[in-house]
Structure 1
Amino acid sequence: MPGRTARLRRPTRPVRGTRGASRPAHPRRPGGGRLRPDLDAAREADALITLTDGLNLQVLFGRRTPDSAPAVLEERIAALRVP
């Protein structure tokens, strides 16, 4: 419609009391899901999204099975965690 503007979402704000709060380690994961300090979190997030897209295509084209794709992703995520 002419003259109609899109509504923009308000930016999200951090939840009060969570800044700097430490979470207990996950019982099944070494490091509790924390990233190694030498990593750039934003860059690694983009890389994981790209890897996931690529794995989806590989499954669709038959280069990987639906069971092997999550194993590749888990291997990459495990390499990012604090030992």
Structure 2
Amino acid sequence: MSQNMGNVTVRLSRETQKKLDHIASSFDRSRNWLITEAVDNYLEVFEWQEQRIKERLKKADKGGKFLDSGNEVISSFWMGCGWAN
């Protein structure tokens, strides 16, 4: 195990464990790999949302435009996640 890694214990229902195992096996990966990917993806999205909210609050405090169209929000989200077309 890498020195940059630590252990975390999570209690999951048997049904959730079965679902994780099914998905992990479809990728030919371990349950641990799948959970790590899921947590990393969640944190990436959370950090993007947090940054975006802070930016919008600053704009609102300055009296600027802080609401975008739905398309602008979606496009910005995908770009922030590195998934832009």
Give the alignment's TM-score, normalised by structure 2.
0.40
Query: Larger relative CO (CA 8 A, sep 6+): 1 or 2?
Result: 1
Q: Give the structure-1-normalised TM-score.
A: 0.41
Q: Specify which structure has the higher proportion of helix.
A: 2
